[in-house]
Amino acid sequence: MMAILAYHKVDNKFELGLTNVRPEMFARQVFALKENGIELSASPERANASRDAVYLTFDDGYDCFYRNVVPVLISSGATATVFVISDYIGRENKWDIRLSRIPFVHMNVAQLREIASLGFQVGSHSRSHRDLTRLDRESVDDELRNSKAELEDLLGREINEVSFPFGRYDSTVVGMAKDAGYEKLYGLGSSATAGVFERVPVYKIDTPGSVMRKAEMKRYEIMKSDFIHSFAGISALISIRHKQRKSAQNEEKRA
Q: Kindly tell me if the per-residue pLDDT of 60 is higher than 80.
A: yes
Lowest-confidence region among 87-91, 158-162, 250-254: 250-254
Mean of pLDDT over the chain: 90
> Are 103 and 57 within 8 A, CB to CB?
no
- Average pLDDT for 35-56: 91
What is the pLDDT at residue 233?
58
Round to whole Å and give the CA distance between 168 and 33.
Answer: 28
Q: Kindly tell me if the per-residue pLDDT of 80 is higher than 90.
A: yes
What is the pLDDT at residue 248?
46
| Continuous H helices in 109-170 | 109-117, 137-141, 147-155
What is the pLDDT at residue 48?
83
Q: Kindly tell me if the per-residue pLDDT of 42 is higher than 90.
A: no
Domain segments of the chain as ranges: 4-254
Considering the segment(s) 4-254 as one domain, its CATH architecture is Alpha-Beta Barrel (3.20)
What is the pLDDT at residue 237?
55
Nearest in space to 144 (alpha carbons), one of 108, 176, 170, 122 = 176
What pLDDT, in 10s, does the model give residues 159-198? 999 999 999 999 999 999 999 999 999 999 887 777 899 9
Q: Kindly tell me if the per-residue pLDDT of 26 is higher than 90.
A: yes
What is the pLDDT at residue 241?
54
